[in-house]
Amino acid sequence: MDQIAYVNGSYVPLSEAKVSVLDRGFLFGDGIYEVAAVLDGKLIDNASHLARLERSVGEISLALPETTARIEEIQHELVKRNDLLAVGGQIVGLRAERAAESEDGPQHGKQAECQAAKH
């Protein structure tokens, strides 16, 4: 079974998840990365991870692409879709970043989001 990722508003097979070569996170490291552990299908200390994520994006003047409540919903859905209920794992790549460059420069006001799960 192919694992499922969440990329820019859609759940997609991990093998189909794509990041643009013009992605600012890819080009400049202009983004935030956070990991949350999963044990017995439960996110461990997730409130602390989400608080750190909010604090971190604030430090680089980047808005989250979703509310933390919505991010948590996505995390729970990834746990379910990737069958992390019975086995341990982690949500990997909880990433928020500025959108890809365009010919006119950075696309301000647009953010990219990527989450994936790993056994």
Q: Pick the closest to residue 6 from 109, 96, 105, 87 (CA basis).
A: 96
- Residue 65: band (very low, low, confident or very high) from pLDDT cuts 50, 70, 90: confident
Q: Pick the closest to residue 98 from 17, 20, 15 (CA basis).
A: 20
Domain definitions of the chain by residue range: 4-12+24-118
Which numeric CATH code is attached to 4-12+24-118? Answer: 3.30.470.10
Is the confidence at residue 111, as pLDDT, over 70?
no
pLDDT value of position 52: 92
Is the confidence at residue 103, as pLDDT, over 70?
no
- Evaluate if pTM is beyond 0.75: yes
